[in-house]
Amino acid sequence: MPSRRAKTRTNARLPALAAGVVATLAGVTALTRWLVGTAALGSMLPGTASMRPSTALTFVLAGASVCLAGSGASVMSRGARRVMEACAGAAALMGFLTLLDYASGWDLGIDQLLPGGSRVRMAPATALNFVLVGLALLWEADGRRDPRPAQALALAATLVALLAVIGYAYETQAISGAPPRMALPTGLAFCVLCAGILLLRADQGFIAVVGSDSAGGVMARRVLPVAIAAPVVLGWLRLAGQHAGFYGTERGLAMFAVCNIALLVAVVAWTAGSLRRADRDRRRVEEALTASERRARQLTEASLDGIVVADDEGRIILFNPAAERTFGYTAAEVLGEPLTCLMPPEFHEPHRAGLRRFVETRVARLVGRTVEVAGRRKDGARFPLELSLGALEVGGRVQFIGTIRDVSERDRMHAAMIQSEKLASIGLLTAGVAHEINNPLAYVANNLAVLERDTRGVMAVLDAYEGARERLAAADPATAARVRKLAEEIDLPYVRGNLDRLLGRTREGVERVTRLVQAMRGMARSGPPQMETIGLADLVDMSLEMIRSRLQRRGITVECDCTGVPKLRCATSQVSQVLLNLLVNALQAIEAAGRPEGGRIRIASRAVGREILIEVADNGCGIAPQDLPHVFDPFFTTKAVGDGTGLGLSITHGIVAGHGGRLEVSSEPGKGSCFRVFLPLSSGGAS
Amino acid sequence: MTGLPRHCLLVVDDEPDVCDSVHDLLRLEFEVLKARSADEGYRLMQENEVHIIMTDQRMPKVSGVELLTNVRARYPHAVRILFTGYADVEAVIAAINQGRIFRFLSKPWQPEEIEGAVREAAAEYDRLVQQAEEGERLRAEIAQLRDRLSALEEEVRLLRAQ
């Protein structure tokens, strides 16, 4: 996979290649010139030496070596590397032998290698430079080595070459008798060649800073040209002025120094100014960044929603306090752990697959959306949550930001609200029906009483006739026979015996309907109930008093723990009805279970937050799981027909809801049930 | 029967079945008049000496409370009973404050309830009437005494004059 570093390198190799080509061409041109022997092409400047043939030949070798390094891949093929090493080695050897030649005073006749070569050796400085350049290129043959030695060698060679070039600029002619000097073209060619070597790996070693976009790079790019060019130009001007006779050596030097100082100071001041601005901008950016970071942290810490950030492997790297509260883990416990520890097991595999898919293909299914999924708390409890998932790239890697909202409370409230609304609407309907039934019921009950009374009257009359039957039979046998026949047809003795039972049953039925209608009317109370502040123990006593005899008859013990509970503001009669309903239910459940060892009802109460919890638990028959969701529904009853209206718990629920509280139930069939009433401490009153 | 003249009861309800039912229940003990509206009730009260008036609260046009309030102004001795199928607290409060009712019954009632209430109302009526008679008798006696006193004073004055 390509890295940034490698990219810089390929970009920088083209100039290196160009420099190599130029150096080679310089050598080739000089050789050609020498071979053709054209005097016109003798030297670059009139009166200066031209490149010697041996030098030209060596340049061709060195230039070819740079070309090879600059054109190939970062790691060269073995063959190319061999050729490059051979060229570089030859160039270094050439220089070394020439130096040896000078030092020993022997004449090895290197210049004789070329056909028709004159006895003109390359200058010592040139030979030295070829040694330096050759060694540098030999080092660079392996592109993986530290580039600094090669760059140091190339820089040294540049300095030697510059000495010659600048010397030519300042001197008009060579001092006769001095050792041979490096020719001007040779010096320039060396400058180009060394530049090529430095550019081979411009992004590494000493010169990397020059090309970098850092403050150091900016400074280097600004100061270096001035630092190199200024002394050269100023020195030339100074010499020129001196030769023209404007000033003497001492004065000229002073002016040179002053001008140098002024120029360098100016460049440094300019650079320092812009660096300071850059620095100030950077600090401002840093401050903004810090502020932004702090703001982001604050937002994360203060957020009411849980925020979890994970890396591209699904490991948690941020876990805010709300998430700690939601999941029950501390941040320290989960940082670095996989996200799966926050999910129920069945989500693990889809999560891993989704994560892999997104990281590899960036195809989002959940990212950028809000979904309802399930979470897993530290204690293993499962809960519904709302998840908004986002992704961002940091340093080429994906991070996931999940915003999590625990919706179990919302779901519970929603369910409770639906239940309340259902009960309220059913309650209204029921109350309306009850009112409609009331009128006919009133006269049905009445008429029944009338019927009973009048039937008794009729029977008395009949009895009186019965007494006179004998005399009637004697006086009017035909009528007596007709009476007897009619009596037989309707089975008079049975009718007389059955009449009381018939009327009694009917009256009982009507009474039951009446009770039912009255209970139904209770479901939609009108007018605000009387609110009082009362201790719970008094309320419980009030309710217990009403069924104490029934409890005693059944041998049911009642434990009551209502101490230390704050007083309650409520509609006393209603709340005592709630307790009474729950007690009656408990009693009936115990009767149904038939506990010969004795039933037990436990009433416990405590403050829970801003609510009071009243528990009424029994060891009765319990409620079947399939019935549990319906116990608060109106007319739902499991009691025998006629034993219950199915409205008790419904009314109880309505009263509790009217007080701004809630009613919950849990039950284990065969073991008992527990009803929990939650009432707010400062009830806003029934609505 | 007791031999005493029976009390007269007026039942007002827009539902005739209710009137009939109450009539049948109480006809042996009381003389029961039936009215299907407040207007008919007023008419019957003018034509008969009604001792007890019993009315439903919810009727078209005139409500039970209004009817009883008017009756109270015209026939203060008639004992007033209100019944309704609605546990309507405001109606009950108005009935007590404006109509000064004797009893309030809620539908559906048990026959014993209504019998008891009407019997008590009859007793209340008797008590009121007795009270009124007593007052009348006392007033007559006082007037008689005053007459005798003035006659005696006259006598004394004549004797003094002699």
- The answer to the question of residue B115 being in a domain is yes
Q: Does the pLDDT of residue B25 top 70, yes or no?
A: yes
By percentage, how much of chain B surpasses pLDDT 90? 47
- Residue B12: its H or E element: strand B8-12
Q: Do A526 and B87 touch (CB under 8 A)?
A: yes
Q: Do A448 and B89 touch (CB under 8 A)?
A: no
Q: Which position has the higher pLDDT, A79 or A109?
A: A79
* A531-680: CATH superfamily: Histidine kinase-like ATPase, C-terminal domain (3.30.565.10)
The shortest CB-CB distance from B111 to any of A446, A526, A527 is to A446
Instruction: Tell me the mean pLDDT in the region A190-195.
Output: 90
Least Cα distance to A317 among A407, A406, A405, A397 occurs for A397
**What per-residue confidence (pLDDT) applies to A109?**
62
What crossing angle do the helices spanning B64-74 and B38-47 adopt, rounded to 10°?
A: 20
* Averaged pLDDT, B27-54: 92
Which residue is associated with the tokens 């609505």? A687
* Among chain B residues, CA nearest to A514: B108
Residue B8 three-state SS = strand
Give the nearest chain A residue to B88 (CA atoms).
A526
Lowest-pLDDT choice from A69-73, A272-276, A570-574:
A69-73
Which residues, listed in sequence order, are joined to residue A531 by a DSSP beta bridge? A571
- Contacting residues of A for B87, CB less than 8 Å apart: 521, 525-526
Whether B23 has its CB under 8 Å from any CB of chain A: the answer is no
Cβ of A450 within 8 Å of Cβ of B15? The answer is no
Residue of B56, B107, B118 to mutate, testing the A interface (most A Cβ within 10 Å of its Cβ): B107
Give pLDDT, residue A527: 45
* B93 within domain boundaries: yes
CATH number, residue B47: 3.40.50.2300
Of A442, A448, A511, the CB nearest to B18: A442
Residue B42 lies in a domain: yes
| Pick from A632, A641, A602: nearest CA to A620 | A602
Q: Are residues B24 and A514, on separate chains, in Cβ contact within 8 Å?
A: no
CA distance A377 to A325: 10
Inter-chain touch B21–A517, beta carbons under 8 Å: no
* Cβ pair B25:A527 closer than 8 A: no
In contact, A618 and A599? CB cutoff 8 Å = yes
Q: Which of residues 102-131 of B touch A (CB under 8 A)?
A: 107-112, 114
Say if residues B103 and B140 touch (Cβ distance below 8 Å): no
Helix (H, G, I), strand (E, B) or coil at A403: strand
**Mean per-residue pLDDT, A650-677:** 86
In this prediction, residues B55-65 reach a mean pLDDT of: 87
Sign of CA dihedral A391, A393, A394, A397: positive
pLDDT at B4 exceeding the cut of 80: no
B154 lies in some domain:
no
Q: In terms of CATH architecture, what is A303-406?
A: 2-Layer Sandwich (3.30)
Taking a C-beta distance cutoff of 8 angstroms, is the pair A656, A663 a contact? yes
Which helix (H) or strand (E) covers residue A375, if one does?
Answer: strand A370-376
A526 contacts in B (CB within 8 Å)?
87-89
Say whether pLDDT at A686 is over 60.
no
- Asked if residue B87 belongs to a domain, the reply is yes
At A651, is the pLDDT very low, low, confident or very high (cuts 50, 70, 90)?
Answer: confident
Q: How confident is the model at residue B158 (pLDDT cuts 50, 70, 90)?
A: very high
ipTM of the assembly? 0.72
CA-to-CA separations, A39 to A46, A59, A99, A172, A572, in angstroms, rounded:
11, 21, 29, 20, 130
Report how far Cα B131 is from the mean position of its chain's Cα atoms.
13
Which domain does B38 fall in, by range?
A: 8-133
In a domain, B141, yes or no: no
- Per-residue pLDDT tens over the stretch A455-479: 999 999 988 988 888 888 888 889 8
- A218 CB-near residues (< 8 Å, 6+ apart): A271, A274, A275, A278
Please provide the DSSP assignment of A245-293 as one string.
TSS-HHHHHHHHHHHHHHHHHHHHHHHHHHHHHHHHHHHHHHHHHHHHH
What gap in Å lies between CA A236 and CA A243, rounded to an integer? 10
The answer to whether residue A647 scores a pLDDT higher than 80 is no
State both tokens at A32.
């050609």
pLDDT interval class at A163 (50, 70, 90): confident
Contact state of B25 with A440 under an 8 Å Cβ cutoff: no
Chain B interface, mutation test: which of A450, A503, A506, A516, most B Cβ atoms within 10 Å?
A: A450
Q: What's the mean pLDDT when you consider all of chain A? A: 82
B67 occurs within a structural domain: yes
Chain B segment 127-156 residues within 8 A of A by beta carbon are none
Interface check for A526 against chain B (CB to CB < 8 A): the answer is yes
Scanning B38-97 for CB atoms below 8 A from A yields 83, 85-90
Of A640, A579, A432, A439, the closest CA to residue A520 belongs to: A432
Residue B159 lies in a domain: no
Asked if the model's pLDDT at residue A528 lies above 60, the reply is no
Q: Looking at CA atoms only, how far is residue A634 from chain B in angstroms?
A: 20
Q: Which helix (H) or strand (E) holds A32?
A: helix A4-36
Q: For chain A, how far is it from start to end, CA to CA, in angstroms?
A: 71
Cβ of B25 and A445 within 8 Å? no
Asked if pLDDT for residue A679 goes beyond 80, the answer is yes
> What pLDDT, on the 0 to 100 scale, is given for residue A156?
93
**CB pairs A-B closer than 8 Å:** 61
Predicted TM-score of the model (pTM)? 0.45
Total domain count for chain B?
1
Query: Is it the case that residue A405 has pLDDT exceeding 60?
Result: yes
- pLDDT confidence of residue A6: 42
Mean pLDDT of A600-611: 87
Q: Which amino acid is at A363?
A: V
Mean pLDDT of B155-162: 90
Residues 6+ apart with CB under 8 A from B36: B12, B13, B14, B16, B19
Express each pLDDT in B99-111 by its tens digit.
788 988 887 788 8
Could you give the CA distance from residue A132 to residue A129 in angstroms, rounded to a whole number?
A: 5
What residues in A contact B15, CB-CB < 8 Å? 439, 443
pLDDT of residue A17: 86
Distance CA B81, CA B124 (A): 12
Contacts of A448 in chain B (CB under 8 A): 111
Quote the tokens at residue A553.
């008859």
- The β-bridge partners of A373 are A385
Per-residue pLDDT, A622 = 87
- Given a contact cutoff of 8 angstroms between Cβ atoms, the answer to whether A135 and A145 are in contact is no
- Which three-class secondary structure state does DSSP give residue A606? strand
Alpha-helical runs (H) found in A105-183: 124-140, 148-170
Q: Considering only A42-46, A204-208, A236-240, which range has the smallest mean pLDDT? A: A42-46
Which structure tokens are listed for B75? Answer: 């026939």
By C-alpha distance, which of B1, B13, B98 is closest to B53? B13
Q: State which residue of chain B sits closest to A442, comparing Cα positions.
A: B108
DSSP at A611: E
Cα of B78 to nearest chain A Cα, Å = 24
